[in-house]
Amino acid sequence: MDTLTCAHIWATLSDIDVAPFCTETEVVGDQVLTYLPWMKAHEIMMNTFPEYNWEFTEDPTGRECHYFDDGSAEVRCRMTIGGQTNITYLPVHRSGKAINSPSATDINTAKQRCRVKAMGEFGLGYTMWLSSQIKEIEEANVSETEQSISLETDEAAEAIKVKEVWKLCKFDEAKTLSEATKKYDKLKVQLANRGLTDDGVYWARLCEQRGWRASK
């Protein structure tokens, strides 16, 4: 597929009326959210941009789901259409609440919805994600996270120090995974010398951005 402009992709996909196909529902409080079924979304994409592709990014252990310290998780979909690539994030949730220790079914549901959301970021059915209910869910999740961080000031202070050391290592200068790995090994030594620990978050993010598959 030739490289297309983001404007062209958006204009094409956002012009498709998906309302008649939004048959999946989920009850959140006293509200009902509607979703575009992933197979119907895939059908539309195959009829519009048949060479589009996607993948779910892996965590450092090779799982297509990214876990947090509180047991919750999120999935991340990297989608490319006409040479344009986006990475979309979605928490594994049920009725608007993050799920602790999600099951395989929970993760699969989140992956398919994240895939449809990724299409929405290119324009297909984007109005579904403008819903005030969706915003409330996302804002609630952010609020809970911020409250958790505020109660763990020592950990927050350590995270800031780790970030400062990370910046000093200038990972943006690394052109290959091998070069980045060497910098990462040095970073872990520097952190240890400062009495700090690395949780692998920045490394995982770097590998994801560069399209590298690497372990800690």
How many CA atoms lie less than 13 Å away from 151 in the CB half-sphere?
A: 6
Angle at 59 between CA 81 and CA 34, to 5 degrees: 55
Q: Out of 3.40.50, 1.10.101, 3.30.450, 3.30.390, select the CATH number for domain 6-150.
A: 3.30.390
pLDDT given for residue 143 in this prediction: 47
Lowest-confidence segment of 27-31, 83-87, 117-121, 201-205 by average pLDDT = 27-31
CB atoms within 10 A of CB 75: 26
> What b/e sequence results for 154-174 when a residue is b if at least 16 CB atoms lie within 10 Å of its CB, and e otherwise?
eeeebbeebeebbeebebeeb
pLDDT given for residue 172 in this prediction: 79
Is the separation of the CB atoms in 122 and 53 below 8 Å?
A: no
CA distance 14 to 143: 31
**Cα 16 → chain centroid:** 25
Percent of the chain at pLDDT exceeding 70: 79
pLDDT given for residue 145 in this prediction: 46
Res. 64: pLDDT tops 80? yes
Closest residue by Cα to residue 126 from 203, 208, 50, 16: 16
Domain definitions of the chain by residue range: 6-150, 153-210
Q: Which residues contact 29 (CB under 8 A, 6 or more apart)?
A: 95, 96
Which band of pLDDT confidence, cut at 50, 70 and 90, is reported for residue 133?
very low
Angle at 180 between CA 179 and CA 181, to 5 degrees: 90
pLDDT given for residue 215 in this prediction: 61
CA distance 142 to 57: 22
Which band of pLDDT confidence, cut at 50, 70 and 90, is reported for residue 151?
very low
